[in-house]
Amino acid sequence: MKFDKELFKGTVLNNIKTLYRRTLEEATEQQIFQAVSYAIKDVVVDNWMATQKEYEKKDPKIVYYMSMEFLMGRALGNNLINLRAYKEVAEALDELGVDLNLVEDQEPDPALGNGGLGRLAACFLDSLATLNYAAYGCGIRYRYGMFRQEIRDGYQVEVPDNWLADGYPFELRRPEYAKEVKFGGWVSSYVDENGRTIFKQEGYQSVQAVPYDMPIVGYGNGIVNTLRIWDAQPVECFSLDSFDKGDYQKAVEQENLARNIVEVLYPNDNHYAGKELRLKQQYFFISASVQEAVDKYMRTHTDLHKFHEKVAFQLNDTHPTVAVAELMRVLMDDHDLSWDEAWEITCKTCAYTNHTIMSEALEKWPIELFSRLLPRIYQIVEEINRRFVLRIQQMYPGNQEKIRKMAIIYDGQVKMAHLAIVGGHSVNGVARLHTEILEKQELRDFYEMMPEKFNNKTNGITQRRFLLHANPLLADWVTDHVGDEWITDLPALSRLRIYADDEKAQQEFMNIKYQNKVRLAKYIREHNGIEVDPRSIFDVQVKRLHEYKRQLMNILHIMYLYNELKDHPDMDFYPRTFIFGAKAAAGYRNAKLTIKLINSVADVINNDPVVDGRIKVVFIENYRVSNAEWIFAAADVSEQISTASKEASGTGNMKFMLNGALTLGTMDGANVEIVEEVGKKNAFIFGLSAEQVIQYENYGGYNPMDIFNNDQDIRRVLMQLINGTYSPQDPELFRPLYNSLLNTQDTAKADTYFILADFKSYAEAQRRVEAAYKDEKNWAKSALLNVACAGKFSSDRTIEEYERDIWHQEKVILPSKP
Ligand code: 26W
């Protein structure tokens, strides 16, 4: 971006004047944020129009990334980074006496996602734009995003996230692209003069889907793609007219439907709840997106048979899977294609990404609900199923078991994963191990029937946000040493290897880490009122709270360390700050209780004079993208301790690595590939392997009681869960956590995540961490090597693999690059 500083300053001042009738001195920080954002938007919109014009001219294939979640995080700083204008703008604002960091801090985090899957979608949009690919993100404009987490008396309290309260400067309403979406009613059919059966949905309720566009700025290439999120409006306000006709009831219902549908993001991560409104949300944004994709295609093409040459739908987990049936409906009912024609196009257009093997996450809609809400879609799914079952019978004659396991509709349920696999040409997992488990275990029957569809796409993250923006000190240091190619070519980081043994480099590197720890310590002081020592080891676990991620194992180990310190107050002990950040789904009892436990343990340990500050436990409230950036930059140890086989990939692990933290983890998800890149010596690996875990599971679990009875350290820690050590007012408070580990009635239900089985191995790995940190030079070397070896984990690499194997897009280069 050719940056005219004086012009920019003038625009900001003028924006404050026209938006608020104020001078800079009179404006609030929020008003300054708005004024600065509108000044930047002005530049972005020019590039946006130029990009879309070039797309019209070149007519490239377009990817539609369909996702119920986009965890974008703040846009202002990111847009400045990608416009390559961050430093200039910071300077210009400084001359006006304004601190860009404080301005950025005024932006609400658009948190239209839960965790990994939503953030991955955001990283992918960044990479697609940066790599010159024409793409849309398609999603929902939730009025309330991920709840804000407050901690009161150690408990999580959910507060609504009204992210639109002050107006969001980077969105653009596009009423001209509104679409009607129909729910309920019935399907009537008749045969027309050509002998074709025509289907018509009647007696339905509908809502108007109105898109809002957000610009997705590519890094330094002038490209601006679009995130299109749909708002819902009543089709028509109910009038006296409908009142007179007795349609009053229906009119009110339609208005309520529109109001409810986009009201709130479901805060469940990895847990299917089967809520009717959730299915409405899914069909709402998918129907609108599919209709628009077809309309857009038809504006410049005539032959729908070549649709898949110009359009790809990537389904982000099964949540958008009704797209398969909706595309069939639009092609057949609105555009007169035959079943076979429509089916071929649909299969060639759709592709599905699986993000979890947790069985409680599988979407299986009761046919009663599904057919009532989406009668025409249900008909189509039934026909897809009928034809698929015929195929199964042909391939495995007489094998009823195969039908039971593979049918799309079975047992009164519509199985969305099966629909996604059958209705697309590609199925991918998100890390090598995860894809192997899909092929060998979870989706084995499908893999045997159609192995050609299966492929792996190991996840990645965008270095623009998670290094360049999050960690400016390290970013500058890296650029000084190996140039700035890494910003768009992360493997270039490998040039840092030659500095791994360089003592000066090691010292500079550790000094940067120290400064980032000071920055985080300040944040913790301001937000938690806890004083932490930046010279201690920052040992961090930040991610959604889930039993399989084993935050419980982490805090139990801290309880064990505390016992050690109490027994041996003079023992050799390197000071450690344990940092947690995690939101629990609102209805997830054990997850919420684990948060309470962490805070209760923190209270006791942080205030015990015997500990004398050698252990600090901090729970960072309201973990989200914006504070994550500071946390990754400040971490020494990255806790990636899921039960092996359960974490599909993980992406936080990559963000830590890129910022020079060492992984303490199991051989799970992408940890396997991280260790492969950086070497076992530069990570701390422990615990059961995925294979061992699966073995146990297939043979009826294991008995944690054996461990409890034979290991006095573990026994003591578990007793402390139920003897009031951490809850003197209510010794029974943590009983449910204790029971989850030692359910004495049914061993198959005890410790399903193998916490006791892995505990000793984890404690031993933690001792290795401590020993390693004491050897400062070696630690610095390992940390530096982690950065140097992070090249593989850019989402740029991931996207190029999707391109090579699934999407096959051509790049669009703008004639006049900025
Ligand atoms: C139906 C409820 C529900 C909601 C969200 C089920 C499943 C989900 C997501 C698939 C959960 C999720 O975010 N999975 C994470 O996806 C990341 C990106 O691929 C992976 O890195 C994580 O390992 C995986 O847990």
The interface predicted TM-score (ipTM) is 0.98
Judged against a pLDDT cut of 60, whether residue 241 lies above it is answered with no
Residue showing tokens 């993250």: 461
Rounded to whole angstroms, the Cα distance separating 413 from 92 reads: 59
Q: By alpha-carbon position, which residue is closest to atom 10 of ligand 1?
A: 355
Q: Is 354 in the pocket of ligand 1 (CB under 6 A)?
A: no
Q: Is 115 in the pocket of ligand 1 (CB under 6 A)?
A: yes
Q: Where in the chain is the domain with CATH 3.40.50.2000?
A: 59-74+109-459+801-807, 463-693+753-793
Statement: 463-693+753-793 belongs to CATH 1.10.3720.10: no
Residue 330 vs residues 138, 211, 276: alpha-carbon distances, Å: 18, 19, 23
Q: Is 782 in the pocket of ligand 1 (CB under 6 A)?
A: no
Beta bridge partners of 186: 202
Rounded to whole angstroms, the Cα distance separating 179 from 34 reads: 30
Judged against a pLDDT cut of 80, whether residue 283 lies above it is answered with yes
Q: Is 278 in the pocket of ligand 1 (CB under 6 A)?
A: no
Ligand 1 mean position to 445 CA, how many Å? Answer: 22
Rounded to whole angstroms, the Cα distance separating 365 from 57 reads: 43
Confidence label for 236 from pLDDT (cuts 50, 70 and 90): confident
- The percentage of residues in the chain with a pLDDT greater than 70, rounded to a whole number, is 98
Q: Is 363 in the pocket of ligand 1 (CB under 6 A)?
A: yes
* Mean pLDDT across 146-160: 98
Instruction: Say if CB 684 and CB 641 are below 8 A apart.
Output: no
Which uninterrupted H or E stretch holds 206? strand 205-217
Q: By alpha-carbon position, which residue is closest to atom 3 of ligand 1?
A: 270
pLDDT the model gives residue 8: 97
Rounded to whole angstroms, the Cα distance separating 108 from 117 reads: 20
Q: Is 120 in the pocket of ligand 1 (CB under 6 A)?
A: yes
What number does the ligand 1 atom closest to the CA of 647 have? 23
Rounded to whole angstroms, the Cα distance separating 644 from 650 reads: 12
* Mean pLDDT across 384-388: 98
Instruction: Say if CB 93 and CB 10 are below 8 A apart.
Output: no
What number does the ligand 1 atom closest to the CA of 120 have? 18
Q: Is 637 in the pocket of ligand 1 (CB under 6 A)?
A: no
Q: Is 356 in the pocket of ligand 1 (CB under 6 A)?
A: yes
Verify whether residue 543 is a known catalytic residue: yes
pLDDT the model gives residue 604: 98
* Mean pLDDT across 41-53: 97
**pLDDT tens track for 466-485:** 999 999 999 999 999 999 99
**What is the maximum span of the chain, computed from C-alpha positions, in angstroms?**
93
Q: Is 795 in the pocket of ligand 1 (CB under 6 A)?
A: no
**pLDDT tens track for 735-761:** 999 999 998 777 778 999 999 999 999
pLDDT the model gives residue 747: 73
Rounded to whole angstroms, the Cα distance separating 232 from 211 reads: 9
- Ranges 152-156, 429-433, 512-516, 525-529: which has the least confidence: 525-529
Confidence label for 252 from pLDDT (cuts 50, 70 and 90): confident
Does residue 139 sit in helix, strand or coil? strand
Judged against a pLDDT cut of 70, whether residue 105 lies above it is answered with yes
Ligand 1, pocket-test mutation among 70, 356, 645, 654, most atoms within 8 A of CB? 356
- Ranges 217-221, 327-331, 342-346, 702-706: which has the least confidence: 702-706
Closest among 320, 261, 357 to 70, alpha carbons compared: 320
Residue type, 698: N
516-94-9 Cα angle (round to 5): 135
Catalytic residue among 308, 549, 596, 781: 549
Rounded to whole angstroms, the Cα distance separating 64 from 62 reads: 6
Residue 458 vs residues 55, 285, 464, 671: alpha-carbon distances, Å: 29, 27, 19, 11
Q: By alpha-carbon position, which residue is closest to atom 9 of ligand 1?
A: 270
Residue showing tokens 């200039």: 88
Judged against a pLDDT cut of 90, whether residue 135 lies above it is answered with yes
Q: What is the b/e burial string over 235-247, where b = at least 16 CB atoms within 10 angstroms of the residue's CB?
A: beebeeebeeeee
Rounded to whole angstroms, the Cα distance separating 311 from 62 reads: 5
Instruction: Say if CB 270 and CB 358 are below 8 A apart.
Output: yes
Ligand 1 mean position to 347 CA, how many Å? Answer: 24
Q: Is 352 in the pocket of ligand 1 (CB under 6 A)?
A: no
Q: Is 269 in the pocket of ligand 1 (CB under 6 A)?
A: yes
Beta bridge partners of 234: 207
Ligand 1 mean position to 69 CA, how many Å? Answer: 10
Judged against a pLDDT cut of 70, whether residue 240 lies above it is answered with no
Ligand 1 mean position to 547 CA, how many Å? Answer: 14
Q: Which residues contact 441 (CB under 8 A, 6 or more apart)?
A: 357, 694
pLDDT the model gives residue 244: 57
Judged against a pLDDT cut of 70, whether residue 255 lies above it is answered with yes
DSSP calls for 601-634? HHHHHHT-TTTTTSEEEEE-TT--HHHHHHHHHH
The count of other CB atoms within 10 Å of the CB of residue 680 is: 9
Verify whether residue 152 is a known catalytic residue: no
Strands 413-415 and 364-366 turn out to be antiparallel
Rounded to whole angstroms, the Cα distance separating 801 from 29 reads: 43
pLDDT the model gives residue 818: 60
Closest among 791, 797, 170 to 467, alpha carbons compared: 791
What number does the ligand 1 atom closest to the CA of 648 have? 23
Catalytic residue among 355, 464, 517, 550: 355
Ligand 1 mean position to 356 CA, how many Å? Answer: 6
Q: By alpha-carbon position, which residue is closest to atom 12 of ligand 1?
A: 117
The answer for 21, left when phi > 0, alpha when psi is -120 to 50, beta otherwise, is: left
Ligand 1, pocket-test mutation among 69, 114, 270, 649, most atoms within 8 A of CB? 270
Topology (CATH level 3) of domain 59-74+109-459+801-807: Rossmann fold (3.40.50)
Residue 310 vs residues 279, 332, 333, 788: alpha-carbon distances, Å: 28, 19, 21, 38
Catalytic residue among 130, 651, 725, 798: 651
pLDDT the model gives residue 745: 78
Q: Is 71 in the pocket of ligand 1 (CB under 6 A)?
A: no
* Mean pLDDT across 583-593: 97
Ligand 1 mean position to 514 CA, how many Å? Answer: 33
- Residue, of 243 and 664, whose pLDDT is higher: 664
Beta bridge partners of 231: 210
Verify whether residue 306 is a known catalytic residue: no
Instruction: Say if CB 160 and CB 148 are below 8 A apart.
Output: yes
Catalytic residue among 141, 310, 469, 543: 543
Residue type, 376: R
pLDDT the model gives residue 700: 82
Ranges assigned E (strand) in 426-518: 427-429, 454-456
Ligand 1, pocket-test mutation among 355, 432, 671, most atoms within 8 A of CB? 355
Beta bridge partners of 207: 181, 234
Q: Give the pair of three-digit tokens for residue 370.
A: 């599904």
Closest among 653, 550, 640, 543 to 594, alpha carbons compared: 550
Residue type, 676: E
Q: Is 213 in the pocket of ligand 1 (CB under 6 A)?
A: no
Ligand 1 mean position to 548 CA, how many Å? Answer: 12
pLDDT the model gives residue 237: 57
Mean pLDDT of the residues in the chain: 96
Q: By alpha-carbon position, which residue is closest to atom 21 of ligand 1?
A: 650
* Mean pLDDT across 663-688: 98
Q: Is 268 in the pocket of ligand 1 (CB under 6 A)?
A: yes
Dihedral over alpha carbons 322, 323, 326, 332 (to 10 degrees): -130
pLDDT the model gives residue 759: 98
Verify whether residue 355 is a known catalytic residue: yes
Q: Is 50 in the pocket of ligand 1 (CB under 6 A)?
A: no
